[in-house]
Amino acid sequence: MIVREVFDPLGIHSISFDQFGGAGEPQRHVDGRIADQVNDVNPRMFAPAGAMRMTLQDWSRFCIDQMQGEHGRGRLLRTETYRFVHAPQGDTRTALGWGAAPHPMNLRGPALTHSGSDGNWYALVCLFPETGNGVLVAANAAESMQGDQASVAALRALAASVAEPFEG
């Protein structure tokens, strides 16, 4: 169902639900070493998105659709639905599955943000639907704070290169 309804319309074909990865893929790390011990991986019930994995190119296809959806060019939902899913709920900066930041990292927004980790990988995204720009960052060293901090620093630097400073 998800393949037919989401992945096929977006041209996403690298999808896998294998929590451990395949041959030729980058190794996940924990505390500076390859995560190859049984306790290095979260139990499957904690695997983000059902242990779904895809290439950065395919992830970007999903993100581009999210941004285009706000302008009536999305392939998955009606324009009103994209806008509803991306809208802050109540007086929060939390949308439905997204962070809804008006001025992320002191940059001109609004922006959609999300981050997640399975304990060995860490991924972040910051999208600017009004300009069609965005940044996706993935690191294969999420367990230690160093991996998380490096990923956030990379996101900040890249986001600053695609968005204007907020002056307000």
Confidence (pLDDT) at 103: 93
Residues 6 or more apart from 101 whose CB is under 8 A from it? Answer: 93, 109, 110, 111, 112, 113, 126
Confidence (pLDDT) at 32: 75
76: buried, middle or exposed (CB in 10 Å: 19+, 13-18, 0-12)? middle
Residue type, 151: S
CATH level 3 topology of 2-17+41-162: Beta-lactamase (3.40.710)
Name the residue among 144, 21, 128 with its Cα closest to residue 136. 128
pLDDT in tens, the chain (168 residues): 889 999 999 999 998 877 666 677 777 777 778 777 777 777 777 666 777 788 899 999 999 999 999 999 999 999 999 999 999 999 999 999 999 999 999 999 999 999 987 777 888 999 999 999 999 998 887 655 566 788 888 989 999 999 999 987
Contact assessment for residue 137 and residue 147, using Cβ atoms and an 8 Å cutoff: no
Task: Give me the residue spans of the domains in the chain.
Answer: 2-17+41-162
Residue type, 131: T
Question: Contacts by 98-106 with C-beta closer than 8 Å and gap 24+?
Answer: 101/126, 103/166, 103/168, 104/159, 105/156, 105/159, 105/160, 106/165, 106/166
Entry pTM = 0.87
